[in-house]
Chains A and B, each alone.
Chain A
Amino acid sequence: MIFGLGRKKDKSSNETSGGETKSTANTKSTSLNGKSAPAEGNGGDERKLSASQLRRKADLSHIAFKTTSDLDPSLEPIGQERALRALEFGASMPAAGYNVFALSSDPSGTAIAVRQQLEKLAQKAPAPDDWVYVQNFKDANAPKSMRLPAGRALAFAEAMAEVVDELSSTIPAAFNSEDYQARARALESEHSGAHDAQLQALSHKAAERGIALLRTPMGFTFAPMLEGKVVKPEAFEAMPPGMQADVRSNIETLQLELEALLLEAPRLEKAKRRQLRQFNKEVALHAIDAALVDIVSQFGDVDAVSSYLSEVREDLADHASLFLTDNAAGAETRAGDQFADLTRAASLRRYMVNVVVAQKTTKGAPVVEAINPNYGSLMGRSEHLPQLGAFVTDFMLIKPGTIHKANGGYLVVDARKLLSQPFAWEALKRSLQSGELHLEHPTENAGAVQIQSIDPEPIPLEVKVVLIGDRGIYTQLSQSDPEFQQLFKVQADFSNAVPRDEEMVRAFAELIAGLAQKNALAPFERDAVAALVEHASRLANDQHKLVVAASQIEDLTSEAGYWALQDDRETTTRADVRKAIAEKIERIDRVRDLDQESFERGLIEVETEGEKVGQVNGLSVLQLGELSFGRPNRITARTRFGAGRIVDIEREAKLSGPLHAKGVMILWSYLAGTFAKDKPLALSASLVFEQSYGGIDGDSASSAELYALISALSGVQIRQGIAITGSVDQFGEVQAVGGINEKIEGFFDVCNSRGLNGDQGVIIPKANVQHLMLREDIVEAVEEGRFSVFAVDTIEDGVELLTGVAAGSRGTDGTFPKGTVFAKAAETLATYSHRANNPELRGEAKAANGKGAAV
C-alpha cells in the first residue's frame, strides 16, 4: 500500500509574493549543487537548507556527565505529569466507577509506566485479605468463599491438610481399638439379643401352651405341638373339642403378640442404629477434637474460620466412615495427582482448602497486569475432569483469575487484548458493576457434553482497573458502550512524544541511566546519550519532540548495550547506538532492499537526471508493519484542449483514496484560479502515478502533480533530479506533509545508488523543516554539496527550482511576464480558450474529455 500523508499547515496566511525570491525570468535562477554560489552553505538561496537544518544535533551542555553512571538513574515516565495525575486520581478515588482508561499509542510501554506509578500507590495501601474456597457441607454445589487476613491462607490450607492426615490415622485407630470393638459388640448384642430374646420368650410361652412357633419361607406361624413335634391334623381332630378350642384361642392370642413383636422390630433396629451412630460419633469426635486443637488455636481468631471449623467438626463426626475406606489410604499415597484428588471428592477432599488468593506479604496492595486477558484467565474458572462420561468439578477445581489476584489492589489490562477475547469485557464490566466476583461458565451450555457446574459464593471485589488502549479504542468504547463511561470515569492521556527541551532531555538522559542500571548494561557515554536523543527525535519525526515510549527506548538501549558487550567495551558509545539502529533496520529492511533493487535494475522507471516536460518525481511512504520507508514515484501529466475536465487515472482505476482525490480537485482549482479567472478553462488533462499498482491516498503528492501539469501546459522541462513532496491549497501555498524524513531518504537512496551528481535534491514544504531528522549520511552529502534539500512556501518557488525559470506573477494588466513558466502556460490555455469559443471545434473538445471527472 502506497500512501502519502497530508498535514495542515500552521501558518494562517494564504497569500504569497512569489516574486521575492525569483531571479530574472527565463533564466536559470539557481544552481542546485550550490557550486556556482556557495554562500552560507546554501548558495545564497534561502530555500536551500543547510546541513545543520537537516538534523538537530543533541545539545547536552546543560547536563554535566561523562557516562550515565554519573547521573541519577530513573525509570520514571517522562513528560507525563498530566496523565500520571489523572492516574493517581483514579487510583485513589474511592467512589465507584473511577477506573482509569490510559490513552496511549504504546500500550506495552505505557503499561510499564502505569505499573510503576501504581506500585508507588500500592506501597502505601494495606495488603488485602487472602481468599479461599471450601466445601459447603450443606450444598456441595455452592462452595463457600472465606476471607483470611493477608498471608494466612496457605498456612490454613496446610493446617487442614495436616488435620486430615492425622485423622486418616487416628480415626481408623479409634475404630479398630479393642475398646471400641467391645463396646460396639455389646451394643449390637444388646439390641439383637433383645429381639431374639423376645422371639425366644414367645416361643417358650407358646411351647408351655403346647404350641410351636415355626418359620415358613415367608414368615412365622403357630401350630399345635405335642412332645416337641407338630401335631398331625388328624391327631388334632381326635383331641377333645375343649382342648381344640383352647389351642385355637391360644394361637390367636399368640398370633397377635407375634405381630406386635415383629412390628416392633424395625423400631428396635432403628434405635439400635441410632445408638450405634451416636456411639460412633462420640468415638470419632474424640479423635477429631484432638486433631483440631492446633488449628483452632492457630486460626480461632478469624471468625469465618472458627465458624467453618465448627462445621468441619460436625461433618467429620458424621462422615468418620470416610476415613475407614480405601480412599483415605489411597489419597495419601497419590497426593498431587489431580485425578486422584478428584477421587477424594466423596471422601477426604471435602476437607481440603482451595487457596485462590494468597498474599505474599502483609504490606502493600497488589498490582497485577493481565498478560492474556481471556475470560478464564481474567475472571477465573472451574476446571472439569472427565468421570464416567461426564465432566465434573468441585470447589477444589476453582482456579482464580487475574482479577482475583488483583482484588484489593490494581489490575492493568491491555484494552485491545481484552476486547478481542469473547465474554471477557462483559464479565469484567459485570464484576465492576456488582462489586462481586462471580464464577460463571459462559459457554457451559453450548456443547453437547454434559458438564457439571458449581455456583461458588461470590467474593467481594474492590479493585481499580486501568485499561490501556489507543484513542481509537477509547472512542469506539465511548460511542458503542454506554456502560464504559460509567465504569471508566478517568482518562489518563499518555503522550507518545514530549517537547525536546532541556528539562526533558535531562529526564531522558536519566531514563537511559535507569535503563542501563535496570538491565545491567554498560554505562552510556555522553555521545551515546546524544545519539539516543537524536534517535528519539527521529522516531518523533520532529526536531522539537522526543519519543518517550518506554518499550522503544528500552529496546534500543538494550540492543546498544548488547553491541558494546560484544566489543568488550566498558561503556556504550555512539557507535554502539548507531549500530543498534542500523542492525534493527537491517533486520527488517529486506522489503526496502527489494524495492531499491527494482529502481537500480530499472524495473521501476524513475529518472534522476536530465529534464522532461510533464513528468516529475513525487515521493511516497510505504508502511509495512514496523517497517516504514520512502520511495520516489514518477508522476506524469498530459494536457490537451478540452472542456475543463481532469482524468485522475488513479481515481478512475479505483486505486486512490478520498484524500488524494481531494488533492487533485484542489490543484485543479488552483489552475483555474490562476489561469482562467476571466475565461473558461478549456483544458483536458490526465494525471497518473506511473507504475503504481497498489492503492495511494493522502494529498502529499498534490504539489508534485501540479508541477507536472504546469510543465505540461507550459512546455517547460522539469529537472528530473529533483523530487517533490507537499500538499497545496487553492492559492498555491505549499503545506506540510507527513513522513518527510522517510521520503527524502527514499529519494536519496535511489540517487545515491546511481551516483550523486550534485544536482539532485528534494523540495519539501517549508513548514516541514522543523520535522527534519535525516540520516547522518544524507546530512554529510548535503554538507559536501552532493545533495540538496529545498524548502518552499509556494508553488511558484517550486516551479522556479524545478525548471530554472521564473514562475511569473500576474501583473496589473492581468498578464504574466513574458518568458515565465506561467506566461507560457497561460498562452497554451488562451489557445484552448479560443478554440473553445469557436463553435466548430467544441465537438472535438467534447470527444477529448472522454470519461474524465468534471472539476
Chain B
Amino acid sequence: MIGHVASTHEGSGRVVLCLRAGRPASDAAFDAAARIAKAFQSDIEGLFVEERQLLDLTAYGFVKETSLSGGITRPISTPDIERQFEAACRAMHQRLKEIGGRLETRVLASTVRSDPVPALAQTCAAAGPWNVIVRGEAFQPQDGLALGEILASVRDCTGLVTVGPKAGQREGRIVAAIEDPERMTGLVRTAERLAAGEPESAAGVTALLIGDDHQHLQWLDEQARLAFPAGQVPRIVAAPPTRGEPGVAAEAIRQLGPGFVVAQYGGVTVPYDDLSALTVGLECPLFLVR
C-alpha cells in the first residue's frame, strides 16, 4: 500500500505515533515519525493510549506497583494511575508540539482509554487507508508477535515503523532488506521515497539481498536487476547466506550503517517471534511494509 502511495506520488496519509501510557517512549520513535511525515508530506497524529487494563487493576486491593528501580512497592489507585497517565500525556503533547514546529507540519493529538491495538485500528480507520503507524516504545526480543498483531488487526495502515533499544543512528543510506522478489519493488520504492525526503543527508538507497544460500542470493540478484529499468537499478548488496539465521541478516544490516531500514514482516530479517538479533544490532528505525 505504501508502495502504491510512493509510486503514485499521492503524497497523502497520516503518521500515527502510538504511545502507550505504560511504556516509555523512545526519542528515536519521535524522530522516525518526523522523518516519515517529512518524506510523505503527511500529518502526524499522536495517539496516547491509556491502557484500560491498568485502570482495571486498581479495583484489586492486593495489587501493588513496584517502581522501576525496585526500591518502592506501593498499592495502586485509580487517581494515581490517572495522574500518571496525565503526566505522560502532557509530556507527549509537548514533544509533538516541538516536532510540529520543526517540520512546519500539522500535528494532532488524541487520547483514548482502550487497549493499544483496538485504539490504533479505530484511529487509522477514522483517518483513511494511508496510515503509517509508528510504535512509540522500543521493541523487545519478544515483541515479534505484537508487531504481527498490529499489522494483522489494523487494516487501515500501509506499514509499521518501530525502533529497537539501540536506535539513534539517523545518518546513512536507506536499506531495503529484500528477501522476496515479489516485495522488491514496493520496498525499494518506499526506501527511495524516504531517501528523497532527506536530501540534506544525501542518503541513497541500497537494496540488501538476504537469502539462505548463494544460489538464493544469486536468484534474488537476477530478479532485482530485472525488476528495475536500466539506469534505475539501485545499489545492490548481497548479505552473506543466512542459513535461516536472523543474526546474519541483522549483522549485514548493521555493517551497512543505515539511516533507515525498510523490510517485510515475517522473514529472516524480522521474524514473527524472536527479535533478539535486531535488538542487539539495529541502530536505526525499521519500516515494516505491509
Query: Within B40-96, which residues are at the interface with A (CB < 8 Å)?
Result: 53-54, 56-57, 59-60, 62-73, 76, 81, 84-85, 87-88
Distance from B246 Cβ to chain A, minimum over Cβ atoms (Å):
14
- A260: chain B residues at CB < 8 Å are 70
CA distance A265 to B22 in the complex (A): 19
> A230 an interface residue at 8 Å Cβ cutoff?
yes
Is the Cβ of B87 less than 8 Å from the Cβ of A261?
no
Is the Cβ of A221 less than 8 Å from the Cβ of B70?
no
CA distance A196 to B54 in the complex (A): 22
Distance from A181 Cβ to chain B, minimum over Cβ atoms (Å):
8
**Which of B54, B62, B69, B85 is close to A262, meaning CB atoms less than 8 Å apart?**
B69
Is the Cβ of B84 less than 8 Å from the Cβ of A217?
yes
Is the Cβ of B69 less than 8 Å from the Cβ of A185?
no
- A222: chain B residues at CB < 8 Å are 63
- B102: chain A residues at CB < 8 Å are none
> B142 an interface residue at 8 Å Cβ cutoff?
yes
Most B C-beta atoms less than 10 A away, residue of A217, A221, A229, A255: A217
Is the Cβ of B280 less than 8 Å from the Cβ of A219?
no
Residue of A nearest to B137 (CB): A215
Is the Cβ of B84 less than 8 Å from the Cβ of A248?
no
CA distance A222 to B54 in the complex (A): 10
Distance from A601 Cβ to chain B, minimum over Cβ atoms (Å):
89
> B141 an interface residue at 8 Å Cβ cutoff?
yes
**Which of A192, A219, A251, A264 is close to B67, meaning CB atoms less than 8 Å apart?**
A219
Residue of A nearest to B255 (CB): A178
> A258 an interface residue at 8 Å Cβ cutoff?
yes
Is the Cβ of B68 less than 8 Å from the Cβ of A192?
no
- A248: chain B residues at CB < 8 Å are 62
> A263 an interface residue at 8 Å Cβ cutoff?
yes
> A623 an interface residue at 8 Å Cβ cutoff?
no
CA distance A588 to B66 in the complex (A): 98
- A232: chain B residues at CB < 8 Å are 56
Is the Cβ of B165 less than 8 Å from the Cβ of A251?
no
> A233 an interface residue at 8 Å Cβ cutoff?
yes
> B201 an interface residue at 8 Å Cβ cutoff?
no
Q: Chain A contact residues: over half helix, strand or loop, or mixed? A: helix
Is the Cβ of A217 less than 8 Å from the Cβ of B88?
yes
Is the Cβ of A192 less than 8 Å from the Cβ of B165?
yes
> B281 an interface residue at 8 Å Cβ cutoff?
yes
Residue of B nearest to A247 (CB): B62
Is the Cβ of B76 less than 8 Å from the Cβ of A221?
yes
Residue of B nearest to A260 (CB): B70
Residue of B nearest to A233 (CB): B59
Is the Cβ of B65 less than 8 Å from the Cβ of A216?
yes
Distance from B114 Cβ to chain A, minimum over Cβ atoms (Å):
14
CA distance A236 to B62 in the complex (A): 12
- B281: chain A residues at CB < 8 Å are 185
CA distance A264 to B69 in the complex (A): 9
> B223 an interface residue at 8 Å Cβ cutoff?
no
CA distance A188 to B165 in the complex (A): 12
Residue of A nearest to B81 (CB): A216
> A446 an interface residue at 8 Å Cβ cutoff?
no
**Which of B63, B67, B276, B279 is close to A218, meaning CB atoms less than 8 Å apart?**
B67
Is the Cβ of A255 less than 8 Å from the Cβ of B64?
yes
Is the Cβ of A221 less than 8 Å from the Cβ of B88?
no
- B88: chain A residues at CB < 8 Å are 217
- A93: chain B residues at CB < 8 Å are none
Distance from B69 Cβ to chain A, minimum over Cβ atoms (Å):
6
- B64: chain A residues at CB < 8 Å are 221, 255
Is the Cβ of A217 less than 8 Å from the Cβ of B85?
yes
Is the Cβ of A214 less than 8 Å from the Cβ of B84?
no
- B141: chain A residues at CB < 8 Å are 196, 200
Residue of B nearest to A204 (CB): B142
> A189 an interface residue at 8 Å Cβ cutoff?
yes
Query: Within A179-222, which residues are at the interface with B (CB < 8 Å)?
Result: 185, 188-189, 192-193, 196, 200, 214-222
Residue of B nearest to A225 (CB): B53
- A200: chain B residues at CB < 8 Å are 141-142
> A266 an interface residue at 8 Å Cβ cutoff?
yes
CA distance A714 to B198 in the complex (A): 120
Q: A215-B22, A216-B65, A217-B84 are in contact. Are A263 and B54 (CB under 8 A)?
A: no
Is the Cβ of A233 less than 8 Å from the Cβ of B65?
no
> A223 an interface residue at 8 Å Cβ cutoff?
yes
* Total B residues in contact with A, Cβ cutoff 8 Å: 35
- A215: chain B residues at CB < 8 Å are 22-23
> A259 an interface residue at 8 Å Cβ cutoff?
yes
- B76: chain A residues at CB < 8 Å are 216, 221
Most B C-beta atoms less than 10 A away, residue of A216, A221, A258, A264: A216
Residue of B nearest to A215 (CB): B22
- B68: chain A residues at CB < 8 Å are 218-220, 262
Residue of B nearest to A234 (CB): B59
Distance from B129 Cβ to chain A, minimum over Cβ atoms (Å):
29
Is the Cβ of B66 less than 8 Å from the Cβ of A259?
yes
Distance from A351 Cβ to chain B, minimum over Cβ atoms (Å):
30
CA distance A797 to B147 in the complex (A): 134
Q: A189-B280, A214-B57, A223-B63 are in contact. Are A259 and B140 (CB under 8 A)?
A: no
Distance from A223 Cβ to chain B, minimum over Cβ atoms (Å):
5
Q: A185-B281, A262-B70, A263-B70 are in contact. Are A218 and B65 (CB under 8 A)?
A: yes
> B21 an interface residue at 8 Å Cβ cutoff?
yes
Distance from B94 Cβ to chain A, minimum over Cβ atoms (Å):
16
**Which of B56, B81, B140 is close to A230, meaning CB atoms less than 8 Å apart?**
B56
Residue of B nearest to A212 (CB): B53
- B69: chain A residues at CB < 8 Å are 262-263, 265-266
CA distance A221 to B53 in the complex (A): 11
CA distance A222 to B81 in the complex (A): 15
Interface 1/0s, chain A 226-253, versus B by CB < 8 A? 0001101100100000000000100110
Is the Cβ of B70 less than 8 Å from the Cβ of A196?
no
**Which of B22, B53, B62, B73 is close to A259, meaning CB atoms less than 8 Å apart?**
B73
Q: A185-B281, A196-B141, A218-B84 are in contact. Are A262 and B66 (CB under 8 A)?
A: yes
Distance from A189 Cβ to chain B, minimum over Cβ atoms (Å):
5
- A214: chain B residues at CB < 8 Å are 22, 53-54, 57
Residue of A nearest to B50 (CB): A217
Interface 1/0s, chain B 264-282, versus A by CB < 8 A? 0000000000001001110
- A261: chain B residues at CB < 8 Å are 70
**Which of B22, B87, B280 is close to A188, meaning CB atoms less than 8 Å apart?**
B280
CA distance A65 to B206 in the complex (A): 96
Is the Cβ of B60 less than 8 Å from the Cβ of A236?
yes
Distance from B165 Cβ to chain A, minimum over Cβ atoms (Å):
7
CA distance A4 to B279 in the complex (A): 104
Residue of B nearest to A265 (CB): B70
CA distance A248 to B62 in the complex (A): 7
CA distance A196 to B141 in the complex (A): 9
Is the Cβ of A259 less than 8 Å from the Cβ of B54?
no
Distance from B81 Cβ to chain A, minimum over Cβ atoms (Å):
7
Residue of A nearest to B67 (CB): A219
- A229: chain B residues at CB < 8 Å are 53
Residue of A nearest to B277 (CB): A189
Q: A196-B141, A259-B73 are in contact. Are A251 and B62 (CB under 8 A)?
A: yes
Distance from A383 Cβ to chain B, minimum over Cβ atoms (Å):
40
Residue of B nearest to A186 (CB): B280
- A236: chain B residues at CB < 8 Å are 60
Q: A255-B64, A259-B73 are in contact. Are A196 and B140 (CB under 8 A)?
A: yes
CA distance A189 to B70 in the complex (A): 22
CA distance A176 to B276 in the complex (A): 23
CA distance A218 to B66 in the complex (A): 8
- A252: chain B residues at CB < 8 Å are 62
Distance from B74 Cβ to chain A, minimum over Cβ atoms (Å):
9
CA distance A192 to B280 in the complex (A): 9
Closest 10 CB pairs between A and B? A262-B70, A233-B59, A217-B84, A263-B70, A215-B22, A230-B53, A219-B67, A189-B280, A221-B65, A259-B70
7 A-B residue pairings within 8 Å (CB atoms)? A215-B22, A216-B76, A217-B88, A221-B64, A223-B56, A230-B57, A263-B71
For the A-B complex with A217-B88, A221-B65, A259-B66 known, give 7 more contacts whose Cβ atoms are closer than 8 Å: A200-B141, A217-B22, A217-B81, A223-B63, A229-B53, A259-B73, A260-B70
